[in-house]
């Protein structure tokens, strides 16, 4: 599978756009230095074919030799961690399990999605989740409420799904209208059906030694799945998570710690982010600032998971913009051992992990191994 990635951290301009589409980020793009480079063809490996990655401290060129197992590029040795491919593989595995469960005990996993208001981006996300459910055989239930609904109405629907045995996962599409208190609403979801993993009890269990949450938030879970499936060793490694949000950065740091990495968190008040990040064998960037992480922030051979999705001006694109990550791919891919592209890295994993959480929930409820 081949994908071409244009590298131009220097030329793009952050769009003011899409508070509606994506979270708003830094006012403008930090330019990368001029990089003279040809357009490059990057060939991502099939995850199951990848050899164990080279030691994180070995030079990046060491294992970038095979088209089967590594990114092929004239000047960028990093392996491409192809999230699209892994997500497809995960969805196929889920479909097999859903069928096996249905055949064995007659149970079909069910996911309920509650959407309040008529934001176009939220409608698109909900539609995509529904389609993804259908594709793997998970039954989806949808409630659409008007923008001016009360918190009580939303909670009433949550309560009804909480007690519905055909529903194994409940998701409240965020953001909610301003007049609603997210906390009250998310707290109303039964922790045993909290497939988003945002309930404080699930996060609390994730943070505690010797406890396990019912669910792990989907995006950080997707990051970990990518690291695992690409054979990136975590135990004993130094990891840096850039960003500490409740939905990505903080749970990602907890997961890395649970997997026995030594974890540092970089945030907007961190004094020396480059220096701290440069010590990391594994970097997860979840900031929302286009190309914040430059090549000189990266330790040679490190594995880089870029969660950021940032729209930047692109007159050549039919949409007038394109999406870039928090990591300057052009620079980082020359130093890193492995890196996720944007788009096509973490993004596709998030829905795949939602399906995985829903299946897991149904299996747990019905004690199906």
> So which residues are the catalytic ones?
129, 173, 196
DSSP, residue by residue, 105-161: H----EEEEEEES--HHHHHHHHHHHHHHHHHT-EEEEEEE-TT--HHHHHHHHHHH
Asked if 269 touches ligand NAP (CB under 6 A), the answer is yes
Strand 169-172 vs strand 110-116: parallel, antiparallel, or unpaired? parallel
Q: Residue from 77, 243, 311, 344 that binds ligand NAP (CB under 6 A)?
A: 243
Give every CB contact of residue 135 below 8 A, 6+ residues apart in sequence.
91, 95
In the complex, least distance from residue 226 CB atom to ligand NAP, rounded to whole angstroms: 11
Asked if 307 touches ligand NAP (CB under 6 A), the answer is yes
Asked if 268 touches ligand NAP (CB under 6 A), the answer is yes
Asked if 249 touches ligand NAP (CB under 6 A), the answer is yes
Q: Which two tokens stand for residue 135?
A: 């594709």
Asked if 173 touches ligand NAP (CB under 6 A), the answer is no
Asked if 309 touches ligand NAP (CB under 6 A), the answer is yes
d(CA 344, CA 219): 13
Cis peptide before 244, with omega less than 30 degrees from 0? no
User: Which listed range, 31-39, 127-135, 166-174, 241-249, lies at the site for ligand NAP (CB under 6 A)?
Assistant: 241-249
d(CA 180, CA 270): 32
In the complex, least distance from residue 345 CB atom to ligand NAP, rounded to whole angstroms: 8
Q: Residue from 2, 13, 20, 23 that binds ligand NAP (CB under 6 A)?
A: 23
CA distances from 362 to 96, 109, 267 (A): 14, 5, 37
Which CB, 164 or 313, lies closer to ligand NAP?
Answer: 313
Q: Residue from 45, 101, 186, 242 that binds ligand NAP (CB under 6 A)?
A: 242
Asked if 248 touches ligand NAP (CB under 6 A), the answer is yes
d(CA 329, CA 349): 19
Asked if 323 touches ligand NAP (CB under 6 A), the answer is no
Phi and psi at 275, nearest 5°, equal -60, -40
Largest CA distance in the chain: 60
Asked if 247 touches ligand NAP (CB under 6 A), the answer is yes
Residues 133-172 as x/- pattern, contact with ligand NAP by CB under 6 A: ----------------------------------------
Q: Which residue(s) pair with 79 in the sheet?
A: 338
| Type and span of the H or E element at 42 | strand 40-43
Which CB, 80 or 248, lies closer to ligand NAP?
Answer: 248
Phi and psi at 282, nearest 5°, equal -130, 130
- Residue number with the smallest Cβ distance to ligand NAP: 245
In the complex, least distance from residue 303 CB atom to ligand NAP, rounded to whole angstroms: 17
Asked if 5 touches ligand NAP (CB under 6 A), the answer is no
d(CA 62, CA 317): 36
Which CB, 202 or 310, lies closer to ligand NAP?
Answer: 310
In the complex, least distance from residue 219 CB atom to ligand NAP, rounded to whole angstroms: 4
User: Which listed range, 27-35, 136-144, 285-293, 354-362, lies at the site for ligand NAP (CB under 6 A)?
Assistant: 285-293
Which CB, 98 or 283, lies closer to ligand NAP?
Answer: 283
d(CA 345, CA 80): 9
Residue 288 Ramachandran class (φ > 0 left, ψ -120 to 50 alpha, else beta): left
Q: How many residues of this chain interact with ligand NAP, rule: CB under 6 A?
A: 28
Residues forming the site for ligand NAP (CB under 6 A) = 22-23, 219, 242-245, 247-249, 266-270, 273, 286-289, 292, 307-310, 346-347, 350
């Amino acid at each position: 599978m081949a994908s071409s990635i244009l590298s131009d951290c220097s030329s793009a301009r952050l769009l003011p756009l899409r508070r509606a589409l994506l979270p708003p980020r830094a006012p403008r793009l930090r330019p990368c230095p001029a990089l003279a480079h040809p357009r490059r063809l990057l060939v991502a490996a099939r995850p199951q074919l990848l050899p164990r990655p080279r030691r994180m401290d070995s030079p990046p060129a060491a294992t970038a030799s095979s088209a089967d197992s590594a990114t092929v590029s004239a000047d960028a040795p990093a392996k491409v961690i192809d999230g699209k491919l892994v997500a497809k593989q995960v969805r196929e595995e889920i479909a097999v399990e859903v069928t096996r469960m249905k055949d064995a005990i007659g149970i079909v996993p069910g996911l309920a999605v509650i959407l309040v208001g008529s934001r176009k981006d939220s409608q698109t996300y909900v539609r995509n989740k529904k389609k993804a459910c259908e594709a793997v055989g998970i039954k989806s239930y949808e409630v659409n409420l008007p923008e001016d609904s009360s918190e009580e109405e939303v909670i009433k629907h949550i309560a009804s799904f909480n007690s519905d045995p055909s529903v194994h996962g409940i998701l409240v599409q965020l953001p909610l209208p301003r007049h609603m208190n997210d906390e009250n609403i998310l707290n109303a979801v039964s922790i045993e059906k909290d497939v988003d993993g945002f309930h404080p009890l699930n996060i609390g269990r994730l943070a505690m030694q010797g406890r396990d949450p019912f669910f792990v938030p989907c995006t950080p879970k997707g990051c970990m799945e990518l690291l695992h499936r690409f054979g990136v060793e975590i135990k004993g490694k130094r990891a840096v998570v850039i960003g500490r949000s409740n939905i990505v950065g903080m749970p990602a740091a907890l997961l890395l710690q649970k997997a026995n990495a030594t974890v540092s968190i970089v945030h907007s008040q961190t004094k020396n982010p480059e220096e701290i990040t440069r010590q990391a064998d594994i970097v997860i960037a979840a900031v929302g600032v286009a190309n914040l992480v430059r090549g000189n922030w990266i330790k040679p051979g490190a594995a880089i998971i870029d969660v950021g999705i940032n729209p930047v001006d692109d007159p050549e694109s039919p949409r007038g913009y394109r999406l870039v990550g928090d990591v300057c791919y052009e620079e980082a891919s020359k130093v890193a051992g492995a890196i996720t592209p944007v788009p096509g890295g973490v993004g596709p994993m998030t829905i795949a992990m939602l399906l995985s959480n829903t299946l897991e929930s149904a299996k747990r409820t019905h004690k199906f191994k």
